[in-house]
């Protein structure tokens, strides 16, 4: 039952799945829970600037990933690209740290989902909800890739619809098309300027929130540490307008966003583990697939590690738990940098081998400016973690772990890898 006759993942997602997953994938829980903190620190204009800059940085990465993914649609995605263009040791490091990041994130999101359920059923322990939601996302991922894609399509649809409705309703209220409760005057743009100016805490505060905004694109709740002290602007606006059950509505939307992140995280982590093992960078038993093309062993181990992460949130909330969260954020930035670097070296090799840029179905514009700019700007984000006390531990722990991954690869993994077979497999998969 466990062994797929081709030992290959099945490509059964439709275009509508990919479109909505891509659109909803950048809408993490950080947007709903962390935007209040961003506004309080950077001010209205600073928050807008932080989200625009953060979105621009992510756009640069997606431009680079687009060229790579269209030219080489292989399992493992950017880990496979890092292996091929940055070196197997870098691919090994990126892959396993990215797997850890998402496995850790799944446990974090399950905990967050349990906390949200306390609003409606406070008598039910949080761990019960963690177990229930954990079983649900496991079943979604274990059935088939089609079941994952279908569920993620609807999760993403809810998030996108919520944001569109909020923009429409909030905009109408700001410009007087909808009355505020209690007969309050229409604010128009009066709240845009604070008593201390457009940037109440200075430009440095904007740079600080930019780091948090970047993490909100990841989907992990690094931003939740500070966001827990700020009211969600989504709830605040809907409540001021007088929409009944606004807090419950947003609680449902945020719960949906959390489950979406957990669902996607389990999928991404299990596929990354399968890809690493398929390329001889992990145990061979992790390459086994069910008849539906699901890497069940990788799925179970990933969920097990997520459970361990969940336990640390209870048993070591102020130490190990925060360390893991910070490392996850750092790993994501490193992964984005690797995508930019991979595209740079892919294009250079492609041209050196006599390729014609016009033959590429999707081309990263303004090469080599885009990959260089993306790499350098995210490098600045990485360095800026030193100046953020809550995130500093990510560098302190993450750098030694990266060094360990490189050392382990060269001392143990390198000698048993057949690079020719990996190259052949990637070529056949394209």
Q: Is 168 part of a structural domain of the chain?
A: yes
Examine the pLDDT at 213 and tell me if it is beyond 90: no
78 lies in a domain? Answer: yes
Domain extent at residue 254: 15-415
Burial zone of 415 (CB within 10 Å; 0-12 exposed, 13-18 middle, 19+ buried): exposed
402 pLDDT higher than 90: yes
> According to the model, what pLDDT value does residue 405 have?
94
More confidently predicted of 331 and 38: 331
pLDDT score for 374: 95
Span of 48-52, 65-69, 228-232 with lowest mean pLDDT: 228-232
Q: What is the pLDDT of residue 4?
A: 45
Is 422 contained in some domain?
Answer: no
Lowest mean pLDDT among 3-12, 34-43, 183-192, 280-289: 3-12
pLDDT of residue 190: 62
Q: Could you tell me if residue 423 is inside a domain?
A: no
Q: How many residues does the chain have?
A: 430
Domain count, the chain: 1
pTM for the complete prediction?
A: 0.82
- The angle, 0 to 180 degrees and rounded to 10, between the axes of the packed helices 369-384 and 203-218 is 110
- Give residue 105's pLDDT band: very low, low, confident or very high (50, 70, 90): confident
Q: Counting beta carbons within 10 angstroms of the beta carbon of residue 373, is it exposed (0 to 12), middle (13 to 18) or buried (19 or more)?
A: middle
d(CA 152, CA 143): 14
Instruction: Write out the two tokens for 137.
Output: 């996302």
pLDDT given for residue 172 in this prediction: 78
pLDDT score for 126: 86
- Lowest pLDDT segment from 74-83, 120-129, 339-348, 372-381: 74-83
Q: What is the DSSP letter of 197?
A: B
pLDDT of residue 327: 81
Helix and strand numbers (H, E) in the chain are: 15, 0
Is 3 contained in some domain?
Answer: no
- The per-residue pLDDT for 1 is 42
The whole-angstrom separation of Cα 319 and Cα 310 is 13
In-domain check, residue 77? yes
Q: Higher pLDDT residue, 204 or 34?
A: 204
5 in any annotated domain: no
Residue environment code for 47-74, b if the CB has 16+ CB neighbours within 10 A, otherwise e: bebbbebbeebbebbbbbbebbbebbeb
Q: What is residue 236's predicted lDDT score, i.e. its pLDDT?
A: 58
CATH number assigned to the domain comprising residue 381:
1.20.1740.10
Residue 5 to residues 1, 9, 213, 214, 302, Cα–Cα distance (Å): 10, 11, 44, 41, 24
Among 138, 120, 116, 350, smallest CA distance to 253 is for: 116
How far apart are the C-alpha atoms of 335 and 219, rounded to whole Å?
A: 14
pLDDT in tens, 109-150: 888 888 889 889 999 988 899 999 999 999 999 988 888 888
Give the span between the Cα atoms of 153 and 309, in whole angstroms. 27
Q: Residue 364 falls within a domain, yes or no? A: yes
| Position 235 confidence tier, pLDDT thresholds 50, 70, 90 | low
Q: Residue 185 and residue 195: Cα distance in Å, rounded? A: 19
């Amino acid at each position: 039952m466990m062994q797929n006759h081709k030992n290959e993942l099945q490509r059964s997602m439709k275009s509508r799945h990919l479109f909505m997953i891509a659109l909803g994938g950048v809408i993490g829980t950080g947007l709903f829970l962390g935007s209040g903190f961003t506004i309080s620190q950077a001010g209205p204009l600073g928050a807008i600037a932080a989200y625009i800059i953060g979105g621009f940085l992510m756009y640069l990465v997606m431009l680079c990933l687009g060229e790579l993914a269209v030219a080489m649609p292989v399992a493992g995605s950017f880990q496979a690209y890092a292996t091929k263009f940055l070196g197997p040791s870098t691919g090994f490091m990126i892959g396993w740290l990215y797997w850890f990041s998402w496995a850790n994130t799944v446990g974090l999101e399950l905990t967050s989902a349990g906390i949200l359920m306390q609003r409606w059923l406070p008598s039910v322990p949080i761990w019960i909800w963690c177990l229930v939601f954990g079983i649900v996302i496991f079943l979604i991922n274990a059935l088939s890739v089609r079941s994952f894609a279908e569920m993620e399509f609807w999760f993403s649809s809810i998030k996108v619809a919520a944001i569109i409705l909020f923009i429409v309703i909030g905009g109408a209220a700001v410009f007087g098309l909808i009355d505020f409760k209690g007969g309050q005057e229409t604010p128009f743009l009066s709240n845009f300027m604070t008593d201390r100016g457009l940037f109440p805490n200075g430009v440095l505060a904007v740079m600080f929130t930019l780091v948090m905004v970047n993490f909100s694109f990841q989907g992990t709740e690094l931003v939740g540490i500070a966001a827990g002290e700020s009211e969600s602007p989504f709830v605040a606006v809907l409540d001021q307008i007088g929409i009944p059950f606004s807090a419950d509505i947003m609680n449902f939307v945020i719960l949906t966003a959390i489950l979406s992140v957990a669902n996607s995280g389990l999928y991404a982590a299990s596929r990354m583990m399968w890809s690493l093992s398929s390329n001889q960078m992990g145990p061979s038993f992790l390459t086994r697939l069910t008849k539906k093309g699901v890497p069940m062993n990788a799925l179970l181990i990933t969920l097990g590690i997520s459970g361990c992460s969940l336990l640390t949130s209870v048993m070591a909330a102020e130490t190990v738990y925060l360390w893991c969260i910070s490392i996850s954020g750092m790993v994501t930035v490193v992964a984005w940098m690797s995508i930019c670097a991979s595209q740079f070296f892919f294009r250079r090799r492609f041209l050196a081998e006599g390729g014609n840029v016009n033959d590429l179905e999707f081309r990263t514009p303004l090469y080599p400016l885009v990959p260089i700019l993306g790499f350098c700007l995210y490098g600045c984000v990485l360095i800026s973690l030193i100046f953020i006390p809550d995130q500093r531990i990510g560098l302190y722990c993450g750098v030694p772990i990266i060094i360990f991954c490189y050392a382990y690869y060269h001392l143990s993994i390198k000698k048993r890898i057949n690079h020719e077979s990996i190259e052949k497999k990637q070529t056949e998969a394209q």
